[in-house]
Every structure is written in structure tokens, then in C-alpha cells.
Amino acid sequence: MLEENYANITPFKAMAKFLRESRINKALTDRTKVYESHVRMFWKSVRYDEKEKMIYSAIQKKDEKDKDIDIEVKFNVGDLRRVLDLGDTDDDPTIVPERLCKGLWFRMGFTGHVNGKYLKSTFIKPYNL
């Protein structure tokens, strides 16, 4: 029984090694806490300026008098590359092959259409919490 389980784990060791050595390692392993309310606020107010190639959004923070104020933030692809430590450039972007992405979705137990909407309910229990 133990040998059977080990045989199933071996392919994942190779995948884990690949991910640890890849450019997207930091994005996958960063443990920064991000609250759902912040993510919702970001997506509610986000906009992309094609001319400036910048992403704009608003966040809330407390001022000196403990009142909520909206602050506009802006960033571009270069900022994302720097923060996520991707180690790439516009000339050499990090591109994850579609086949690899689809395989990852299915290994996570995704039951929906891969090119459709990704709802939490379409994932198995460990991934839909």
C-alpha cells in the first residue's frame, strides 16, 4: 500500500522541483496576507489605460483621524515583474504554456470548462475553501 502511494507522489516531486526553480516561484510561494475585501475593492475599481500601458485602481486606508480615504494606485507590467521577481523583460516574457496550465487545473480537480469561468464550486474541496 505504501509503495502504491509513493508511486503516485513521484510525478509531483518532479513538478514541485520544476516550480521551485521556475521564474514564477515567488508568485506561487509568497505568504503575504491579502484580504478578500481588498481584492474585491481592487477589481471593483480597476481600469487599464491602453495609451499609458498602466493599471489604475483604488484602495482604502485610514487617515490620521481614523477615517477611510480612497487612494489611487497605478502600476505597470514592469512593476509586477519586479515585485513578483519574475526575472524577465518585455523581450523575454515569462510564458506558461497553455497545455501546462490546463494540466494544472485538472490535477487540482477542476471539473468545469477550462476556457470558461473558474468558479470555486468547480474545484475539489482542498482548493475551493
Strands 54-62, 47-49: pairing is antiparallel
Average per-residue pLDDT in the chain? 77
Q: Which three cell numbers stand for residue 100?
A: 501546462
Query: Taking the C-alpha atoms of 45, 34, 36 and 73 in order, what is their torsion angle to the nearest 10 degrees?
Result: -10
What is the per-residue pLDDT across 29-51, written as a single tens digit (0 to 9) for each? 777 787 888 788 888 888 999 99
What is the phi/psi pair of residue 78, to 5°?
A: -60, -40
| Integer Cα distance of 87 and 94 in angstroms | 8
Domain limits for position 126:
96-129
Residue 87 and residue 115 in one domain: no
What is the total count of domains within the chain?
A: 3
pTM above 0.85, yes or no: no
What is the model's pLDDT at position 1? 46
**Mind listing the pLDDT tens digit for each residue in 67-102?**
988 888 899 988 888 887 777 787 877 777 777 877
Instruction: Looking at the structure, tell me whether residues 40 and 56 fall in a common domain.
Output: yes
